[in-house]
Amino acid sequence: MSFEKKTCLAYGVILLAVSAINYIPGLTDPDGLAFGIFNLDIFDDMLHLASAIWAFAAAMISLRSARIFLILFGAAYLGDGVFGIFTGWGYLDLGIFTNESLGFSLSVLRIAANLPHIALGAVALAAGLISLRRA
């Protein structure tokens, strides 16, 4: 199995786990925040579940589909994390369309809330672009 397909499988597992966070006792606080940082709602859960299914499907279909997943997923999640830093909301869960901008912030909480999307997006995008370059 290629590195790209293995990477998609890893992303599928990670995203599936993230979509389950709200349903595992002890991982959310009394305010509904996962790990005391993230407010994950049903839209976030569905986004992560759909992304996991996409990752698993890409890994199973072909090397080309794995590359496409890594590049598109990476760009989308990286952009979402950057939007989160600048506005306090992401676009993948439609937050920027339903909430007023909170403005730019480099607070620890804002960075912690957006770092998962930035990191997952950047790694996936880099892996996809490197794979494409090697082809």
pTM: 0.90
Give pLDDT, residue 105: 94
Give pLDDT, residue 81: 97
Positive or negative: CA dihedral 41, 85, 87, 74: negative
Q: Which residues of the chain have pLDDT under 50?
A: none
Please name which of 40, 54, 114 lies closest in space to residue 82, comparing C-alpha atoms: 114
Contacting residues for 8 by C-beta, under 8 A, at least 6 apart: 55, 56, 58, 59, 66, 69, 70
pLDDT in tens, 40-51: 888 889 999 999
